[in-house]
Amino acid sequence: MNSVQEQLESDLNELAKVREDAEKVRKAKREMIETVQQTDDFMRLDNDGNILDGKLSELESKIRTSALALYDNSCELPARVAVKWFTTVVVTDELKAKEWCIAHFTPALKLDGKVFEKAAKDGNIPSDLATVSKEARAQIATKL
Protein backbone atom coordinates (compact mmCIF):
# COMPACT_ATOMS: atom_id res chain seq x y z
CA MET A 1 0.00 0.00 0.00
CA ASN A 2 1.46 3.39 -0.98
CA SER A 3 1.29 6.57 1.10
CA VAL A 4 -1.72 7.96 -0.80
CA GLN A 5 -3.65 4.75 -0.16
CA GLU A 6 -2.65 4.81 3.51
CA GLN A 7 -3.76 8.45 3.83
CA LEU A 8 -7.06 7.63 2.09
CA GLU A 9 -7.68 4.75 4.53
CA SER A 10 -6.87 7.06 7.44
CA ASP A 11 -9.22 9.74 6.10
CA LEU A 12 -11.99 7.16 5.60
CA ASN A 13 -11.58 5.99 9.20
CA GLU A 14 -11.74 9.59 10.41
CA LEU A 15 -14.81 10.24 8.24
CA ALA A 16 -16.53 7.16 9.70
CA LYS A 17 -15.87 8.47 13.22
CA VAL A 18 -17.06 12.00 12.40
CA ARG A 19 -20.21 10.63 10.75
CA GLU A 20 -20.88 8.49 13.83
CA ASP A 21 -20.35 11.47 16.16
CA ALA A 22 -22.55 13.71 14.00
CA GLU A 23 -25.35 11.14 14.02
CA LYS A 24 -25.12 10.85 17.82
CA VAL A 25 -25.40 14.64 18.12
CA ARG A 26 -28.37 14.78 15.70
CA LYS A 27 -30.09 11.98 17.64
CA ALA A 28 -29.49 13.70 20.99
CA LYS A 29 -30.81 16.96 19.54
CA ARG A 30 -33.97 15.24 18.22
CA GLU A 31 -34.53 13.57 21.59
CA MET A 32 -34.06 16.87 23.42
CA ILE A 33 -36.52 18.63 21.11
CA GLU A 34 -39.06 15.83 21.59
CA THR A 35 -38.62 16.02 25.37
CA VAL A 36 -39.09 19.80 25.40
CA GLN A 37 -42.12 19.55 23.09
CA GLN A 38 -43.82 17.27 25.61
CA THR A 39 -43.55 19.73 28.49
CA ASP A 40 -46.58 21.69 29.65
CA ASP A 41 -44.74 24.98 29.16
CA PHE A 42 -43.94 24.19 25.52
CA MET A 43 -47.46 22.98 24.77
CA ARG A 44 -48.91 26.13 26.34
CA LEU A 45 -46.53 28.36 24.34
CA ASP A 46 -47.26 26.42 21.15
CA ASN A 47 -50.99 26.80 21.71
CA ASP A 48 -50.64 30.51 22.53
CA GLY A 49 -48.55 30.99 19.39
CA ASN A 50 -51.20 29.31 17.24
CA ILE A 51 -53.95 31.46 18.76
CA LEU A 52 -51.92 34.64 18.21
CA ASP A 53 -51.08 33.65 14.62
CA GLY A 54 -54.81 33.29 13.96
CA LYS A 55 -55.51 36.69 15.54
CA LEU A 56 -52.73 38.28 13.48
CA SER A 57 -54.17 36.96 10.22
CA GLU A 58 -57.68 37.99 11.21
CA LEU A 59 -56.67 41.53 12.21
CA GLU A 60 -54.42 42.05 9.17
CA SER A 61 -57.24 40.97 6.87
CA LYS A 62 -59.72 43.24 8.66
CA ILE A 63 -57.33 46.22 8.46
CA ARG A 64 -56.67 45.64 4.75
CA THR A 65 -60.41 45.44 4.05
CA SER A 66 -61.08 48.64 6.02
CA ALA A 67 -58.19 50.48 4.37
CA LEU A 68 -59.42 49.54 0.88
CA ALA A 69 -62.95 50.65 1.79
CA LEU A 70 -61.63 54.03 2.99
CA TYR A 71 -59.49 54.36 -0.13
CA ASP A 72 -62.44 53.54 -2.40
CA ASN A 73 -64.43 56.31 -0.69
CA SER A 74 -61.57 58.81 -1.06
CA CYS A 75 -61.09 58.99 2.70
CA GLU A 76 -57.80 59.79 4.39
CA LEU A 77 -55.88 56.74 5.60
CA PRO A 78 -53.92 56.53 8.87
CA ALA A 79 -50.18 57.08 8.38
CA ARG A 80 -49.45 53.44 9.22
CA VAL A 81 -51.53 52.13 6.31
CA ALA A 82 -50.96 52.59 2.60
CA VAL A 83 -52.77 51.43 -0.50
CA LYS A 84 -50.56 50.58 -3.44
CA TRP A 85 -51.44 49.55 -6.95
CA PHE A 86 -50.00 46.30 -8.27
CA THR A 87 -50.21 45.03 -11.82
CA THR A 88 -51.48 41.47 -11.88
CA VAL A 89 -51.60 39.00 -14.76
CA VAL A 90 -53.85 35.98 -15.10
CA VAL A 91 -53.04 33.60 -17.95
CA THR A 92 -56.44 32.56 -19.28
CA ASP A 93 -55.27 29.80 -21.65
CA GLU A 94 -51.83 28.41 -20.84
CA LEU A 95 -51.56 26.27 -23.99
CA LYS A 96 -52.41 29.17 -26.32
CA ALA A 97 -50.03 31.42 -24.40
CA LYS A 98 -47.21 28.90 -24.78
CA GLU A 99 -47.88 28.48 -28.50
CA TRP A 100 -47.87 32.26 -28.95
CA CYS A 101 -44.57 32.54 -27.05
CA ILE A 102 -42.99 29.87 -29.24
CA ALA A 103 -43.95 31.85 -32.34
CA HIS A 104 -43.51 35.43 -31.09
CA PHE A 105 -41.79 35.75 -27.71
CA THR A 106 -39.20 33.04 -27.00
CA PRO A 107 -37.64 34.90 -23.99
CA ALA A 108 -40.75 33.91 -22.03
CA LEU A 109 -39.95 30.24 -22.49
CA LYS A 110 -37.87 28.74 -19.70
CA LEU A 111 -35.50 25.85 -20.29
CA ASP A 112 -36.11 22.86 -18.03
CA GLY A 113 -32.52 21.87 -17.32
CA LYS A 114 -33.27 18.37 -16.04
CA VAL A 115 -35.46 17.49 -19.02
CA PHE A 116 -32.85 18.93 -21.40
CA GLU A 117 -30.03 16.97 -19.71
CA LYS A 118 -31.98 13.71 -19.92
CA ALA A 119 -32.76 14.30 -23.60
CA ALA A 120 -29.08 15.07 -24.26
CA LYS A 121 -27.99 11.87 -22.50
CA ASP A 122 -30.55 9.94 -24.57
CA GLY A 123 -29.07 11.43 -27.75
CA ASN A 124 -32.12 13.53 -28.61
CA ILE A 125 -30.36 16.92 -28.53
CA PRO A 126 -28.04 18.07 -31.36
CA SER A 127 -24.36 17.88 -30.41
CA ASP A 128 -23.85 21.60 -31.06
CA LEU A 129 -26.31 22.39 -28.23
CA ALA A 130 -24.94 20.07 -25.55
CA THR A 131 -21.83 18.00 -24.99
CA VAL A 132 -22.35 14.69 -23.25
CA SER A 133 -19.29 13.14 -21.64
CA LYS A 134 -18.37 10.74 -18.88
CA GLU A 135 -16.55 12.00 -15.81
CA ALA A 136 -15.14 10.07 -12.90
CA ARG A 137 -16.53 10.94 -9.49
CA ALA A 138 -15.48 9.36 -6.22
CA GLN A 139 -18.36 8.13 -4.11
CA ILE A 140 -17.97 7.29 -0.46
CA ALA A 141 -19.89 4.38 1.01
CA THR A 142 -22.65 5.38 3.40
CA LYS A 143 -21.69 2.69 5.88
CA LEU A 144 -18.02 2.94 6.75
112-128 pLDDT, tens digit per residue, is 999 999 999 999 999 88
Question: Which pLDDT does position 1 carry in this prediction?
Answer: 83
Question: Which pLDDT does position 144 carry in this prediction?
Answer: 87
Per-domain residue ranges of the chain? 3-72, 89-131
Question: Which pLDDT does position 50 carry in this prediction?
Answer: 98
Rounded to whole angstroms, the Cα distance separating 56 from 59 reads 5
Q: Give the chain's radius of gyration (CA, Å).
A: 29
Q: What's the mean per-residue pLDDT of the chain?
A: 95
User: Residue range 78-97: average pLDDT?
Assistant: 94
Assess contact for 29 and 23: CB atoms under 8 A.
no
pTM metric for this prediction: 0.61
71 pLDDT exceeds 90?
yes
4-49 pLDDT, tens digit per residue, is 999 999 999 999 999 999 999 999 999 999 999 999 999 999 999 9
Residue 108 CB contacts under 8 Å (≥ 6 apart), including other chains? 101
Question: Which pLDDT does position 54 carry in this prediction?
Answer: 98
Question: Which pLDDT does position 33 carry in this prediction?
Answer: 98
DSSP 4-49: HHHHHHHHHHHHHHHHHHHHHHHHHHHHHHHHHHTSHHHHHHHHHH
Rounded to whole angstroms, the Cα distance separating 22 from 16 reads 10
